[in-house]
A and B are shown apart, each in its own frame.
Chain A
Amino acid sequence: MKRMLLGRLAALVPTVLLASFVVFMLIQLAPGDPSITLAGENATAERIEEIRRSLGLDRSLIEQYLTWLSHAVRGDLGKSIITQESIAAAIGRTLPITLQLVFGALVVAIVFGVIAGVASARRADTATDAVIASVSSAGAAMPSFWLGLVLVSIFALGLDWLPATGFVSLAADPVRALRHLVLPSVALGAVGAAEIARQLRGVLIEILASDYIRTLRAKGLSESRIVWIHALRGAAVPLVTIIGLQVSRLLGATVVVEAVFGIQGIGTLVVSAANNRDYYVVEGVVVVMALIVILVNFAVDVSYRISDPRIR
């Protein structure tokens, strides 16, 4: 198992390299470059060309990529072309914000998803099940920015229970942080909750009809013990898989929710960088995101092996 894990870890390297190469080429293929932005308001065509040359944008793409790579492997992601901020610092500033948001959304998705999934599996094909099924279909279909706007108009602007915008770090002030986190987490986590509920329902119905559950029932175990402990353990592998997939999805989806709630996370960083053709910021963020997604998948893999000894 150890050798397998080391092998998987080693495979990360080419994946990240490939991702960085593809993104570098893609963003530079898009027309427009940062020199137009940098030339300011009263630009002349001559000045723009001068800036282009000074940024080294007249060199071949491969040459530019290799220069970037030679710095990146030494841990130097460079500076933003537009703001001059160190890219490592920019990521260090925005990533924790996004991770806190993703964490909040994940909690929402797991708590609501598991409760709804278990409830509908236990009452399969009843009215309760139908209600949960339709609510979760709606949840899966709802765009998170739209849900965010609805939540803000009800709970912030209408009832004045929670703040409409902004972000506070959990480390700085946990109470205020939670108040700020509720609405964006629900907006972002709703789709995941629906997804988990629907998948879990299917798996649990199958498990609850299986022989070993019948044996447990015959032994006189309480139904809730059977469902919450034994059946859920059986559903662990698919559950972990869905959660792992959710993390990757949330990292991508956070950008829209960040905009709705005025949160300056890594999603906002990469979108504004892409809009300004701030190439190295986009590149740096993508590499870090790719690393996170790959590591999450790796962790999911490892957890399979722990929860189900048959997978070796």
Chain B
Amino acid sequence: MYKQAIVLLLAATSLAAGAVVAEAGGEIKVGVTLAPTSFDPIVGTSGGDAMSLYPLYDRLINFDPETLAPAPGLATAWTYTEPQVLTLTLREGVTFQDGTPFDAAAVKFNLDRAISLPKSTVKTDLGGINSVEVVSPREVKINLNKPDAALVLTLADRAGMMVSPAAVEKWGDAYGQHPVGTGPFNFVEYAPGDRMVVAKNANYWQKDQPSLDRITFRYFTDQQTATNALKARETDLQLNVPAADVAPLKAVSDLDVVSRASLLTEGCYFNFSREPFSNVVARQAIASAIDRQALSNLLTFGLAVPTSQVFPNGYWATDANLANPFPFDAAKAKALLAEAGHPNGLEIKGIAFQGTSEVRKAQIIQEQLKAVGVNMTLDVTDIPTAAKSFFTDKTYDMICSSWSGRPDPSQTAESLFSPKSFFNAGGYLAPGMDVALSEASSAQDPSKRAAAFGKVSALNQQYVIWLPLLSQPNNTAIYKNIHGLVPNFYGKIDVSFLSRD
């Protein structure tokens, strides 16, 4: 009898405890290897910033994590009322963390600032905007100088993160140290390169959100250190876990590793400004020489998916029916080399970014090329040096790196295939590419846009402009008592709406 009573009592207490646990609150520590470059969204320079900015800022447009299709954010509706006019309807009842109301004037302030601020890193992305008009407190008209379908998803990234106009006026140049958005968390403090602390925004517009009281981001320069911190439970989750760490972390008890296909694609850039890669046949030879599956096995333990398109499988801009015209075929590679005028093989100069995985990737490719008679020398250096030598000075023939993806596929396509882009060394324009690119960015109908991206990808395959190799999954290691992780195609995780027990 007593025993039963005790058991019942215990059960009741644990139930009560369970109820307490399920309630909102608590703090989590997030491990990240990319420290933010600025808390002013339009000044930051690295794609890694997004993960630190999401808790502070809402964006005008969100994206569906599964498909990356546009979804309501601070704007509840967006329509091209004319081909060159994008009208946004804004959400009601939203205020910035400092109490400033969020309205059409605030949107105009933000977009004007993003276009005019000398330090803005989104000027190019917003280059199509002529003017921004406040129609009513809830409605904004964006006038474009040409049809620009990419603008909607551009506003799902840093360009669409809304900052408080009052805070910008108050702090001026120092705004980046005092960020104020409409997001679910208020900025508390940042120790540069070390940690950022944010605390729950009690007035957040989404009901019952966020669940957590506090999030601490810890930044690590060394991947192994980040992993150690996770294993020692000094962090609760680790974002962007490299493929090599996935299996060892899965073996840790209480730890899950969640993997999801992402836009991050491994691939090679060519120097079109000189021989041999000014010749398309020589580039086709390189495409045929690379065994993508072997590369995936050696570099990522088979986790990354071989691809001949710059977009991953299952993405709306990817053409599932497109066959790779230059699959791995050593004999064909040699024949193409001979056709390109190099029957006795070829000497090329390669360069790679420093970092274990970058160097390994370059070395595996170096070996694969050697097998068909292409001898690639390899210099390894830091990113600014390599970028300057390859893209500006054009003193190397090939660099194998990666492309991290953008919310709108036009941004990726323009950056890799437009002759005006920095990343196009030699300003190469494939026949028909300009037409395909402008179709892809101007078509209003999503299926027409998708078809245009199919053309872009087919041209890229044929002319080997950027050589896609592997589509990398995005991996997050997370302890089992943390819930609500939503991985996304973009590969940048928003930790704002997690909860813990």
Contacts and interface: CB of A to CB of B under 8 A. Distances in A.
Answer yes or no: are A and B bound together in one complex: yes
A90 B422 contact: no
Nearest to B228: A164
Interface centre among B37, B47, B192 (most CB of A within 10 A): B192
A38 B191 CA distance: 21
30 contacts: A31-B389, A32-B389, A37-B45, A38-B121, A40-B44, A41-B415, A42-B124, A42-B411, A44-B422, A45-B421, A48-B422, A82-B37, A84-B38, A163-B234, A164-B229, A164-B231, A165-B220, A165-B228, A165-B232, A262-B218, A262-B220, A262-B222, A262-B226, A264-B193, A268-B193, A269-B193, A272-B221, A275-B382, A275-B383, A276-B384
A45 B229 CA distance: 40
A149 B389 contact: no
Interface in B383-400: 383-389, 391-393
Contacts of B384: 31-34, 36-37, 275-277
Interface in A70-87: 82-85
Given A83-B38, A84-B173, A164-B229, 18 more contacts: A32-B385, A37-B45, A39-B121, A39-B422, A40-B44, A42-B414, A42-B415, A43-B124, A44-B124, A47-B123, A48-B422, A54-B118, A83-B192, A93-B191, A164-B231, A165-B229, A262-B220, A264-B194
Contacts of B377: none
A90 B224 CA distance: 25
Interface string A258-295: 01111010001101101111000000000000000000
Contacts of A203: none
Contact of A41 (B47, B194, B218): B47
Contacts of B118: 54
A149 to B, nearest CB: 7
Interface-centre pick from A31, A39, A54, A85 (highest chain B CB count, 10 A): A31
Nearest to B222: A259
A30 interface: yes
Contacts of A242: none
B234 A164 contact: yes
A36 B391 CA distance: 10
Interface string A30-72: 1111101111111111111000001000000000000000000
Interface string B208-230: 00000000001011101110110
Nearest to B174: A84
A7 B58 CA distance: 61
A37 B43 CA distance: 11
B37 to A, nearest CB: 7
B304 interface: no
B125 to A, nearest CB: 6
A38 B387 CA distance: 13
B191 to A, nearest CB: 7
B104 interface: no
Nearest to B382: A275
B225 A165 contact: yes
Contacts of A82: 37, 45
Contacts of B193: 264, 268-269, 272
B176 interface: yes
A260 B222 CA distance: 7
A152 to B, nearest CB: 5
Given A31-B393, A42-B406, A259 B387 contact: no
Contacts of B46: 41
A157 interface: yes
- For A40, A85, A277, the residue with the greatest tally of chain B CB atoms inside 10 Å of its CB is A40
B426 to A, nearest CB: 11
B422 A30 contact: no
A30 B221 CA distance: 22
A100 to B, nearest CB: 14
Contacts of B404: 41
B122 interface: yes
Interface in A114-169: 149, 152-153, 156-157, 160, 163-167
B420 interface: yes
A66 B191 CA distance: 32
A32 B122 CA distance: 22
A118 to B, nearest CB: 36
A32 B387 contact: yes
A77 B359 CA distance: 36
B153 to A, nearest CB: 13
Contact of B422 (A45, A260, A274): A45
A59 to B, nearest CB: 18
B406 A259 contact: no
Nearest to B194: A264
Contacts of B393: 31
Nearest to A82: B37
A82 to B, nearest CB: 7
A30 B382 CA distance: 10
Contacts of A160: 232
A256 to B, nearest CB: 9
A31 B225 contact: no
A45 B406 contact: no
Contacts of A36: 384, 387-388, 392, 422
